[in-house]
Amino acid sequence: QVQLVESGGGLVQAGGSLRLSCAASERTRNSYDMGWFRQAPGKEREFVAAISRNGGRTFYADSVKGRFTISRDNAKNAVYLQMNNLKPEDTAVYYCAADRGVALSRTPQLYDYWGQGTQVTVSS
């Protein structure tokens, strides 16, 4: 069973920055695409960003393009989400997920493993 643990969430003012981290078990080192999703109260879980297993390809939701950057360090079994120019609408629980598929996906149902989530709150 692949284990994922998110960290780095917190409270920040609009326009500020946060960096989320996802620590993965050793099994994910080069076998999974990784994604970040978020879910706000009363809303469906939505795609944020994804990165291929070797870090060569990335994919972003339109709502975060130019503000968020996904990256990974396979030597450390870690995935990151750098979030800049945060807005109140970015407030949500952010989840790290792993996908063993052959192509990057923005569909949560296609991801195989999930972390517990970390809360990001952006004040106006």
- DSSP reduced 3-state for 27: helix
- pLDDT at residue 29 is higher than 80: no
Q: What is the mean pLDDT of residues 12-26?
A: 94
- pLDDT at residue 76 is higher than 60: yes
- pLDDT at residue 94 is higher than 80: yes
List, in order, residues 6 or more apart from 79 with CB less than 8 Å away.
Answer: 21, 22, 24, 34, 36, 51, 70, 71, 72, 96
- pLDDT at residue 28 is higher than 60: no
CB–CB of 118/93 below 8 Å? yes
List, in order, residues 6 or more apart from 116 with CB less than 8 Å away.
Answer: 5, 6, 95
**pLDDT given at position 57:** 95
Q: How far apart are CA 91 and CA 96, in angstroms?
A: 16
Provide the token pair at 14: 């609009």
Least confident of 12-21, 46-55, 95-104, 108-117: 95-104
How many CB atoms within 10 Å of residue 63? 14
How many CB atoms within 10 Å of residue 79? 30
